[in-house]
């Protein structure tokens, strides 16, 4: 009986296939990996895995947005970045090769919107740049370089000239970047 608790019921597997961009094999692999994290919480109907454990996955370990990714996909009421299996599947689905540009750009926007206000403003863009360059004394841009870079980003992206980038403007910019889809992925 102990071996069956980690099995994914066939009807759930079919439902997950319909609701995600993942194949049957990818869902089964995701379930196995998630189950490895929840061995101690098997009696819980919907165990949550702490963000710290999720961040040990090799696919996320070197991603500069790893914590933000967990926060965006977490359905936890306390916003701690912990994930249920369904949260984990949503994350993997959005980053899969089969996900649409619209889905990928929607989640990328949410990940880059650090203050969750629905726009990318100067503060979000500064955090984004620091995540990409590394926020250390050796890699951090000078205040003038940062101002110039943010100004350039807004000049290119802020179509309505309100000083921020909204989802529609972000998706417009992404649609002109053929490399975006191939770089926005996590492979199990």
Domains of the chain, by residue range, sit at: 12-94, 101-183
Under CATH, domain 101-183 is a member of which superfamily? Answer: EF-hand (1.10.238.10)
Overall average pLDDT of the 138-158 stretch = 95
Overall average pLDDT of the 18-32 stretch = 96
Angle, helix 167-175 to helix 101-112, in steps of 10 degrees: 130
Report angle CA 107, 110, 113 to the nearest 5 degrees: 150
The pLDDT > 90 percentage for the chain reads 78
**What residues contact residue 128 under an 8 Å CB cut-off, 6+ apart?**
112, 114, 120
Which of the four pLDDT bands, split at 50, 70 and 90, describes residue 184? confident
Which of the four pLDDT bands, split at 50, 70 and 90, describes residue 3? very low
Domains 12-94 and 101-183 belong to one CATH topology: yes
The CA–CA distances, whole Å, from 50 to 65, 99, 116 equal 16, 25, 21
Overall average pLDDT of the 96-114 stretch = 95
Lowest mean pLDDT among 28-37, 151-160, 174-183: 174-183
89, pLDDT greater than 90: yes
The pLDDT > 70 percentage for the chain reads 90
Lowest mean pLDDT among 123-132, 141-150, 153-162, 172-181: 172-181
| 3-state SS, residue 77 | coil
Quick count: other Cβ atoms within 10 Å of Cβ 185?
Answer: 15
Most confident of 52-61, 110-119, 170-179: 110-119
What's residue 158's pLDDT? Answer: 97
What's residue 179's pLDDT? Answer: 81
Which of the four pLDDT bands, split at 50, 70 and 90, describes residue 187? low
CATH second-level architecture of 12-94?
Answer: Orthogonal Bundle (1.10)
Which of the four pLDDT bands, split at 50, 70 and 90, describes residue 177? confident
């Amino acid at each position: 009986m102990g071996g069956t608790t980690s099995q994914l019921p066939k009807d759930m597997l079919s439902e997950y296939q319909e609701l995600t961009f993942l194949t049957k094999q990818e869902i089964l692999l995701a379930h196995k990996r998630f189950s490895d994290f929840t061995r101690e919480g098997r009696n819980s109907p919907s165990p949550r895995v702490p963000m710290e454990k999720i961040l040990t996955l090799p696919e996320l370990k070197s991603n500069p947005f790893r914590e933000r990714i967990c926060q965006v996909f977490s359905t936890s009421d306390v916003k701690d970045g912990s994930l249920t299996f369904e949260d984990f599947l949503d994350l993997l689905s959005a980053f899969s090769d089969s996900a649409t540009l619209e889905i990928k750009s929607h989640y990328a926007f949410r990940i880059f919107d650090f203050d969750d206000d629905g726009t990318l403003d100067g503060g979000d863009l500064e955090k984004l740049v620091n995540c990409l360059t590394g926020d250390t004394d050796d890699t951090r841009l000078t205040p003038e370089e940062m101002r110039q870079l943010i100004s350039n980003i807004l000049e290119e992206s802020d179509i309505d000239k309100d000083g921020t980038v909204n989802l529609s403007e972000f998706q417009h910019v992404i649609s002109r970047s053929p490399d975006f889809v191939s770089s926005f992925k996590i492979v199990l």
